[in-house]
Structure 1
């Protein structure tokens, strides 16, 4: 049993805003924070977190309690389980009454990380790679960078230290193959320890230096490690983020290390994944300006576009900085271009302008039909913004398209953001798909093999909310109550609807690519062949996976 004085000490260490804010987006309201209640569906936020009292209360459904109670209710944990999870998240050692005097779940990862750091000092190849990238010895120490050896060596080390194999598997340090044999998750890789915002070590990232197929790998999903909620080096960047009210989000661990080395200590990175809605509560803390520092290649621009849509819809301030010519922030620091780097970061492209410009750039505006497509896609994006921003950016969209602002019709009225305006045939179909997902959530995994939010022209945002199970979204609530929108009946009915939709989609993409002048002849020919093949397979009644 956990000792009561240990529980009391843990409670004194917990910040309820940090705890609740790691699950839901909190917005300041005077001396408190508010959010839509995570325990019942509502349109207006009535869930209040009071940091002075260390408690939360919902004026809608009546739930209330402290940080421990919140984790119990949200994660469906027992009282001891919630305490242990919270203690692990801030690296707090719990004391137990009876046989075991104490329990420190993260000790295994800490011990392993210390060993990795010592091994780095002995591995010349890894040291030369890091030196070549321009990383100082002081940065290696600050970020705890190490080296993971062969699988057998890691297993033997854990056995020699008499560390629990079961716990090593639970924490993602080891795995067990289909044949039952143990293996280390990180093999011949430079290791980057990953910490929770509270400072507890929860996992690792690893970069190969011996030619493994995957350049980077991360710890698997565990009770402590969720790559969609964590940001690399946030625990080191946090003070600067709160002080400067700015956070730089990059795509790579080495970008973060080098930016910190150059004095940009507000830099963090996603963990090999795109920025997701689950990252937003962490990014919201301190209400900083968010700068996306991404590569300027095709993949980087696509990631920046997706993240910019997410952040602009969430009301974040900030913008995008793209690094062209094959360079990245780490390269600029290594080359001594710190002043130029600072200049780029001081003048980002605002999120909304970036989305509109990138969206329109994929269309040949000399073709009237292509221009119409660009108009529809731009208006669909504006609908995700607040009414004020919609109005402010109508002239910007019009100027980029070379049309009159009067053509930018978004829809007005208090229900504009809840109920679709001026349904077209495609509007209704997309809403039917979303309603089907809401009423039959078990189909989501299979459905995502064939369709994703980006394929929808008008309601991508609502579709993504439905896929996340965001039941409190007022647009989804309105959709469920709208009897005009039907649900696709049965698996076969859904399949036929998807085939019809995908044929239309790929025909549209085929027409778009034939009018593009921004891709090479070879690339255009390849895409045309791909789209025609997909269309033919769909016409034969075969659902074609994405990719």
Structure 2
């Protein structure tokens, strides 16, 4: 490539960068769909498939989008390419001339730094709770598991701890300590948990705590999962994923030797970071209409990522896998 061609390429890259930095991705989507806030991010109905509830996640600080329904993801240029049916160069030109609110680049950098700082603080809080917790043996956490029909030894991804029922980041205040079964959320390639699922329980572990929300996450759970059992010798390229820790423990008990994860939500199955060895994913879904619809949507999203996906359900009459383990019909 000659000097002139290098200059042309550099000039075009500057145009691309300026086009990306000029507008919020949410403002592009707002031309076609209603956008609402969801924490530091925003959500809307997906532009690329029909749906009734919003599953398109928008991050203005990073300039990215991801649909939990169909798996579509990318940056602001790829969004314009697909939404407006343009090639790359025309999408950049479209952004350069779009009649949209302008964004101060310094504000975007500041927002990204604040988001990352909040993320790290949340992870550190979760890790502090985890490392102060105890093994489950002979604790209320073990008693709770036994009350749910789980007789297998609880794996190392579970601990017992006393943890505040709530945190208020604005005031720095937190609620009273409540006993909880803690499930560590891990991300591929990271040696330490990045988040926790806390199941608040009675002091004797006989049942969940009498609270409006007896389950609360802590830290950063997006992209991670509770690894109830690890790599399988017989099926090393397949993992079974389900929603909650109790269902995952039930599956691990009923299917010894299989790799089982709890993704803490069907939509989060699409976001999970799977090892390169994983080729097949089995969604262990809930056996009701919302559960079946959510599983179908997750399967669609995972297939767009190149996985072989199948769905399995509890036997007729059982809503979830823990109900089936205990013989409790809905």
Q: How does 1:473-512 map to 2 (within 5 A)?
A: none
1:305 aligns with 2:296: yes
Structure 2 distance, partners of 1:181, 1:37, is: 36
Partner of 1:192: 183
Q: 1:318 to 1:176 in 2, by over 3 A?
A: closer
CA contact (8 A) 2:127 2:194 kept: no
Partner of 1:148: 162
Bigger strand share: 2
Q: 1:286 to 1:39 in 2, by over 3 A?
A: farther
Partner of 1:252: 244
CA contact (8 A) 1:241 1:247 kept: no
CA contact (8 A) 1:148 1:191 kept: no
1:442-480 deviation per Cα after TM superposition (whole angstroms, max 9, x unaligned): xxxxxxxxxxxxxxxxxxxxxxxxxxxxxxxxxxxxxxx
Partner of 1:230: 224
Deviation at 1:305, TM superposition (A): 2.1
Structure 2 counterpart of 1:294, from 278, 285, 289: 285
Deviation at 1:213, TM superposition (A): 0.8
Deviation at 1:112, TM superposition (A): 2.8
1:116 aligned counterpart, secondary structure: coil
1:271 aligned counterpart, secondary structure: coil
Runs (4+) of structure 1 exceeding 6 A deviation are: 36-40, 105-108
Deviation at 1:186, TM superposition (A): 6.9
1:270 aligns with 2:263: yes
Deviation at 1:288, TM superposition (A): 1.6
Deviation at 1:129, TM superposition (A): 2.4
Structure 2 distance, partners of 1:245, 1:213, is: 39
Deviation at 1:255, TM superposition (A): 1.9
Q: 1:249 to 1:276 in 2, by over 3 A?
A: closer
Structure 2 distance, partners of 1:115, 1:329, is: 31
Q: 1:275 to 1:202 in 2, by over 3 A?
A: closer
Bigger helix share: 1
Structure 2 distance, partners of 1:330, 1:264, is: 18
1:218 aligns with 2:211: no
Structure 2 counterpart of 1:204, from 174, 193, 196: 196
Structure 1 distance, partners of 2:157, 2:177, is: 18
Structure 1 counterpart of 2:320, from 316, 320, 328: 328
Structure 1 distance, partners of 2:131, 2:305, is: 39
Structure 2 distance, partners of 1:111, 1:250, is: 26
CA contact (8 A) 2:150 2:250 kept: yes
Q: Identify unmatched segments of 5+ residues in structure 2.
A: 1-63, 67-72, 82-108, 201-207
Q: 1:312 to 1:186 in 2, by over 3 A?
A: farther
CA contact (8 A) 1:255 1:329 kept: yes
Structure 1 distance, partners of 2:191, 2:296, is: 31
Q: 1:147 to 1:288 in 2, by over 3 A?
A: same
Q: 1:277 to 1:127 in 2, by over 3 A?
A: closer
TM-score (norm 2): 0.51
Deviation at 1:232, TM superposition (A): 1.9
Instruction: Choose 1 or 2 for highest CA Rg.
Output: 1
Partner of 1:429: none
Q: 1:254 to 1:313 in 2, by over 3 A?
A: same
1:134 aligned counterpart, secondary structure: coil
Deviation at 1:137, TM superposition (A): 6.4
Q: 1:267 to 1:185 in 2, by over 3 A?
A: farther
Q: CA RMSD in A?
A: 4.5
Report the count of equivalent residues.
Answer: 219
Q: 1:242 to 1:305 in 2, by over 3 A?
A: same
Partner of 2:232: 240
CA contact (8 A) 1:242 1:288 kept: no
TM-score (norm 1): 0.33
> Using CA pairs below 8 Å that are at least 6 residues apart, which structure has the higher relative contact order?
2
1:302 aligned counterpart, secondary structure: helix
